[in-house]
A and B are shown apart, each in its own frame.
Chain A
Amino acid sequence: MRVLRGFALLVLAGGLAFGENKVILKKPPKSLHKYYPPKSKNFEFLNNMYIMSTSFFGINLNINEGNWKGALEWANRLRDTYKKTSRMVPEWKKYFKPALADDLVKAVKSKNVDKVIKASKKLGQTCASCHRDNEIAVKLVYHYPSFDNLKLEDPVEFMEVKVGKYMEKMTNSLKALRIYLTQGQKDMAQEAGTNFAERVRGLRAMCSKCHTDKASEEIYMGKNLESALTKLEELLSAEKLDQKAIFSTLDRISMTCAKCHNVHLVPAMVQEALAK
């Protein structure tokens, strides 16, 4: 149990660098880039993290079951992967202390639980220190899709534009609809509303690049959204525009906007900031 508590500390140690009134994210170093798509599809660096994490637990599990031989195998695997990983990103070399990995192997060989806990803690602190400084930034940069290079064709103007520009055009047509409706300019409201609906539908071309199966398609652009867009078009083509019903339908549509933004917008903004 004592060993387990020791390992638990390692898990809790990850996080951010906090300062007074601010949270600091460090840009991931350039040399990490080659271990993630699009440069590599094998996630070599991340996989080493998994191997080390599993190896830590392998030591823990086996010691708790009295299997010191098994624990030693995992300790050796941990040491080897730790040393290999320390050479992968030169900018992060300072975080690694290979001698501590050797110490953990020695501790396991000695079959002394206290020594193992002590060596684990020391080695684990090097992991935690790197995670604290870098883990969140790395996840934001490499684990979320980048919208930076994506282009979408605007279904109203038939022009390819970057995602940011597309969003601007889409929201501008939404705002124009609200403004013309409020001002009682029916024809203009109809045109702006139709353009807005077209642009919302046009987003599918972007989302479907990653959301390729039916279940995720239903989440991002399912029946609810399509029925709301159809309703909006119906309301806009009526002889007399029902402002209240249109606004209520826009609220339904905005639920999808919020859903996607909650997942993608913040990471995309952080990515953009880190790319500068």
Chain B
Amino acid sequence: MIPLIILLAFLLAGCEKLESVFIEEDLLQRPQAKRCMDCHADIYEEWKESRHYHAWTSEQFKIESENYSKLKCLPCHAPHQVDPDKKPVLRAEFKADGVSCVACHFKEETKSMHGPLKVWSPPHPSKKDLAYVRSNFCAGCHQETFKEWRRSGTIKTCQSCHMPDLGKKDLIQKFPYYLFHLSKPRSSHRFPSLKAKPEDLRFELKDNVLYITNYRIPHNLPTADQGDPRLYIIARVYYRNGKVRTVRKLLSAQSKQVLAFREPFPLKLPKGEIEEVRVRVLRKLAWKKEKDLIGEFRIPSPSHARGGQSTQGGGPQ
């Protein structure tokens, strides 16, 4: 039976007119995300775990947008169509889907689903579109982060980190369509927020100033357009005379105090002969109440560590 279906499919694939027989018209009418799940179950499940899924319904967003009355905030939380470098307009339908499947993949101009792969998809026309692998695809909404990324001069794209490669996987799970498709390279639709690792940060203690550098993450830490994620720095300063002082610093995108990529952030420490600084770095995502520990570090004073020489770095504890 299956070989027969495959044979039939090959015959049909050669005939453009017959291909249109398989078009499911409602897919070209900007359906709800759950309609896409009929075929793309795995991607749908990934997306449901993402912040894009929660973009509209998030309690935090409801509060911050004053029950959706701050109109300026709304388009990026339920975009009609996501295009590179362009701020989207607000979608009229199914806003609860947030940044949905059709928002990113359906294009009014071609009335087809766009994506980074060339695929044969009888239920809807598809177009290969390399815009999906470039960072500026995200720039319409993530404007500030995109600018920060561009300043960093890094080659890695937004997608490299926030849509990590999952290897070759089936794009569809629906019978019998999945029988006609080979596995394709797939990227995660969980859009992970990610957390800085201890080795992403570097410390240098010089003249009672602790310089903290975001060494490996090619955008600000924390980064946001309108959200308010935060980074907490708690430095316990140990002095030669036995005194201990604590210096706290709250960094946030909104207060414009951040760890920019490879720009040392100076944390001034109280005067005195410092023996060692112990630093805890924590972060809080915009939609979370809890703080997560990024790392704990011990930074000896340059003179203490190397007989008066400057000390680079500062290892995790």
A positions within 8 Å CB-CB of B: 37-41, 153, 155-158, 187, 190-191, 194, 198, 201-202, 204-205, 208-210, 212, 233, 237
Are A208 and B69 in touch, CB under 8 angstroms? no
**Of B21-29, B81-89, B92-100, B224-232, which binds chain A?**
B224-232
Which B-chain residue is minimally distant from A36 (CB atoms)?
B69
Q: How far is the CB of B252 from chain A (nearest CB, A)?
A: 6
Which B-chain residue is minimally distant from A191 (CB atoms)?
B270
Question: Is B257's beta carbon under 8 Å from chain A?
Answer: yes
Are B255 and A233 in touch, CB under 8 angstroms? no
**Distance, CA A209 to CA B68, complexed state (A):** 13
Are B250 and A41 in touch, CB under 8 angstroms? no
Residues of B with C-beta under 8 A to A190: 270
Interface residue count for B (Cβ, 8 Å)?
Answer: 23
Which B-chain residue is minimally distant from A190 (CB atoms)?
B270
Which B-chain residue is minimally distant from A204 (CB atoms)?
B255
Are B72 and A212 in touch, CB under 8 angstroms? yes
Are A202 and B255 in touch, CB under 8 angstroms? yes
Are A37 and B252 in touch, CB under 8 angstroms? no
Are A204 and B256 in touch, CB under 8 angstroms? yes
Residues of A with C-beta under 8 A to B249: 155, 198
The 8 closest A-B pairs by CB, nearest first: A37-B69, A38-B67, A155-B250, A41-B69, A205-B254, A204-B255, A38-B66, A208-B254
Q: How far is the CB of B294 from chain A (nearest CB, A)?
A: 15
Are A233 and B228 in touch, CB under 8 angstroms? no
Are B270 and A158 in touch, CB under 8 angstroms? no
Q: How far is the CB of A149 from chain B (nearest CB, A)?
A: 8
**Distance, CA A237 to CA B266, complexed state (A):** 13
Question: Is B71's beta carbon under 8 Å from chain A?
Answer: yes
Which A-chain residue is minimally distant from B65 (CB atoms)?
A38
Are A39 and B67 in touch, CB under 8 angstroms? yes
Residues of A with C-beta under 8 A to B270: 187, 190-191
User: Given A38-B66, A205-B228, A237-B268, do A158 and B248 touch, yes or no (CB 8 Å)?
Assistant: yes
Which residues in chain B, 32-76, are within 8 Å of chain A measured between CB atoms?
A: 64, 66-72
Are A209 and B64 in touch, CB under 8 angstroms? yes
Residues of A with C-beta under 8 A to B271: 187
**Distance, CA A39 to CA B69, complexed state (A):** 9
In the complex, 9 of the A-B residue pairs with CB atoms within 8 angstroms, ordered by the A residue number, are A37-B66, A38-B69, A153-B252, A155-B255, A201-B255, A201-B257, A205-B228, A205-B252, A237-B268
Which A-chain residue is minimally distant from B209 (CB atoms)?
A237
Q: How far is the CB of B180 from chain A (nearest CB, A)?
A: 47
Residues of A with C-beta under 8 A to B71: 41
Which A-chain residue is minimally distant from B234 (CB atoms)?
A158
Are A194 and B268 in touch, CB under 8 angstroms? yes
**Distance, CA A204 to CA B249, complexed state (A):** 15
Are B72 and A202 in touch, CB under 8 angstroms? no
Residues of B with C-beta under 8 A to A237: 268
Residues of A with C-beta under 8 A to B255: 155, 201-202, 204-205
Are A155 and B268 in touch, CB under 8 angstroms? no
Are A233 and B268 in touch, CB under 8 angstroms? yes
Partner of B226, one of A41, A204, A208: A208
**Distance, CA A191 to CA B271, complexed state (A):** 11
**Distance, CA A98 to CA B221, complexed state (A):** 61
Are B250 and A158 in touch, CB under 8 angstroms? yes
**Distance, CA A201 to CA B252, complexed state (A):** 10
Are A153 and B257 in touch, CB under 8 angstroms? no
**Distance, CA A37 to CA B67, complexed state (A):** 7
**Distance, CA A257 to CA B252, complexed state (A):** 21
Which residues in chain B, 200-242, are within 8 Å of chain A measured between CB atoms?
A: 226, 228, 230, 232
**Distance, CA A210 to CA B69, complexed state (A):** 12
Residues of A with C-beta under 8 A to B226: 208, 212
Residues of B with C-beta under 8 A to A187: 270-271
Q: Mark B251-270, 1 if CB is under 8 A from A, else 0.
A: 01011110000000000101
Are A41 and B256 in touch, CB under 8 angstroms? no
Residues of B with C-beta under 8 A to A153: 230, 250, 252
Residues of A with C-beta under 8 A to B250: 153, 155, 158, 198, 202
Q: How far is the CB of B41 from chain A (nearest CB, A)?
A: 36
Residues of B with C-beta under 8 A to A194: 268
Residues of A with C-beta under 8 A to B230: 153
**Distance, CA A237 to CA B267, complexed state (A):** 12
Q: How far is the CB of B145 from chain A (nearest CB, A)?
A: 16
**Distance, CA A187 to CA B249, complexed state (A):** 18
Q: How far is the CB of B273 from chain A (nearest CB, A)?
A: 15
Residues of A with C-beta under 8 A to B232: 158
Residues of B with C-beta under 8 A to A40: 69
| Additional A-B contacts beyond A41-B68, A205-B252 (8; CB < 8 A) | A38-B66, A155-B255, A158-B250, A198-B250, A202-B255, A208-B226, A210-B70, A237-B268
Which B-chain residue is minimally distant from A156 (CB atoms)?
B248
Q: How far is the CB of B45 from chain A (nearest CB, A)?
A: 33
**Distance, CA A84 to CA B173, complexed state (A):** 55
Which B-chain residue is minimally distant from A205 (CB atoms)?
B254
Are B67 and A41 in touch, CB under 8 angstroms? yes
